[in-house]
């Protein structure tokens, strides 16, 4: 089981760009992670960082760490670690 912070990237009348929420889901392995082109990932990480630090830090949650891992085919996945006290 994992708690996944989600950042919405669509702009509709019902949600705003960058709206952030957390959901609980099951992930059997990192093989299900989204793979990004290296030139795309920086913007996604920065958007997530801003929203995570604004909306998802507090109480026991002290922050997040972000690491990129390159796949065999040259794409990138982002590993997000939640720091809790």
Q: The tokens 């990932």 sit on which residue?
A: 41
Percent residues over pLDDT 70 in the chain: 82
Q: Which residue has the higher pLDDT, 59 or 4?
A: 59
Per-residue pLDDT tens for 36-75? 888 888 887 888 888 888 888 999 999 988 889 999 999 9
The mean per-residue pLDDT over the stretch 27-42 comes to 80
Residue-level pLDDT at 26: 57
24 CB neighbour count, 10 Å cutoff:
8
CA–CA dist 16, 18 (Å, integer): 6
Closest CA to 7 of 39, 46, 37, 38: 46
Beta bridge partners of 60: none
pTM recorded for the entire structure: 0.64
Residue-level pLDDT at 2: 54
């Amino acid at each position: 089981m994992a708690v996944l912070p989600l950042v919405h990237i669509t702009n509709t009348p019902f949600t705003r760009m960058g709206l952030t929420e957390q959901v609980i889901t099951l992930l059997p392995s990192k093989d299900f992670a989204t793979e990004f082109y290296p030139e795309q990932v920086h913007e996604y990480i920065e958007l997530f960082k801003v929203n995570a630090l604004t909306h998802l830090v507090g109480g026991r949650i002290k922050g997040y760490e972000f690491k990129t891992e390159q796949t065999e085919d040259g794409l990138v996945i982002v590993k997000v670690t939640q720091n809790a006290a």
